[in-house]
Amino acid sequence: MALETRLTRRLGLAAPIISAPMAFAAGGRLAAAVSAAGGLGLIGGGYGDEVWLRQQFDKVPRRTVGCGFITWSLRKQPHLLDLTLEYEPRAICLSFGNPEPFASRIKSTRALLICQVQTRRDAEQAIECHADIIVAQGAEAGGHGEARATITLVPEIADLIAAKAPETLLCAAGGIADGRGLAAALMLGADGVLVGSRLWASTEAEVGPRMHAAALSSNGDDTIRSRLMDLARRLEWPERYTARVLKNRFIERWQGREEELLSVAETEAVKYREAWAKDDPEGSNTFVGEAVGMIDKILPVSEIISDMVDEAVACLAAGAHMAQDTASIEP
């Protein structure tokens, strides 16, 4: 089924879905599959590995996918933006930091500027930078984010955009893993959605079988927001951001012992990275959101996107029918 929104019309998409630029998981194969299925795929530039970035872009035709960066990390390696722009990405997504230092460079090319935000102030900053698309990310999301809930953040930013930058597109993120979430996002005022966890749980994602298995056996109650994994990896994340991951032995061991973890971080960083390389969901972390409770299969991207769109169309049609029935009832 087709689902047309401002996002699909503006970008020429068949589905109002953008894939989250998940560090390590969102490689060229995943991004290409999302774009081929009618959405917009984003490669996860993450913390900035030049060799890896080149490898991923070499897997996809030019102008078919975009790329996302962790903004505070990109400031340490700004040349990576120019490297990426050489591949003619459809969009550059900046998350977790002020986009202003990079906005004009991106806007000077054919690439769209996407800014992922977690607060109203972030959204105002993105508008000042003339973002083409703003992604309002709620705390339900997997990986890094803040405290606002998707269901309140999205309409607040939708109102802000309508008042200050009506041409700017809005996508919702956080807890959206099926057609019900897509339909709800559109009803909240979004033009589309940015999807992470559901596409993380795909055959094209760069995710090991043990991490996938851990997610399939979990539900939303099994997730937690924490800084422990960043302390253990010695990553300089700003304190305002925490990450949602599955609870596990690593979390149980260090929860409430952050200062102690910091004191042995040099040793623990080696252990953590070894566990990650071994696809160990207990010694490292499975980065998924609360939507994990709605995921019971690892599926191809094409099937995930098709199912989401079909279900969203059915939900919106049922809602319109219900509204008509309600309106016809005599007072």
Look at residue 294 and tell me whether its pLDDT is greater than 90: yes
Angle at 194 between CA 193 and CA 196, to 5 degrees: 135
Report pLDDT digits (tens) over 81-125: 999 999 999 999 999 999 999 999 999 999 999 999 999 999 999
DSSP, collapsed to helix, strand or coil, labels residue 262 as: helix
Residue 3 contacts residue 312 (beta carbons within 8 Å): yes
- Residues ≥6 apart with Cβ < 8 Å to 228: 250, 251, 254, 255, 258, 261
Q: Which long-range contacts (CB under 8 A, 24 or more apart) does 112-121 make?
A: 112/11, 112/66, 114/18, 114/66, 114/68, 116/68, 116/173, 116/194, 117/157, 118/145, 118/146, 118/147, 118/148, 118/153, 118/241, 119/146, 119/148, 119/153, 120/153, 120/156, 120/157, 120/160
**CATH number assigned to the domain covering 6-206:** 3.20.20.70
CB atoms within 10 A of CB 249: 11
Report pLDDT digits (tens) over 236-261: 999 999 999 999 999 999 999 999 99
Percent of the chain with pLDDT over 90: 95
Residue 291 contacts residue 140 (beta carbons within 8 Å): yes
Torsions phi, psi for 39 (to 5 deg) = -100, -160
DSSP H or E stretch at residue 277 = helix 265-277
- pLDDT for residue 2: 83
How far is Cα 119 from Cα 239, in angstroms, rounded to an integer?
Answer: 15
How confident is the model over 47-68, as a mean pLDDT?
95
Mean pLDDT estimate for the chain: 95
Look at residue 323 and tell me whether its pLDDT is greater than 80: no
How far is Cα 136 from Cα 299, in angstroms, rounded to an integer?
Answer: 26
Look at residue 46 and tell me whether its pLDDT is greater than 60: yes
Percent of the chain with pLDDT over 70: 97
* Distance of alpha carbon 257 from the chain centroid: 29
Residue boundaries of the structural domains of the chain: 6-206, 209-290
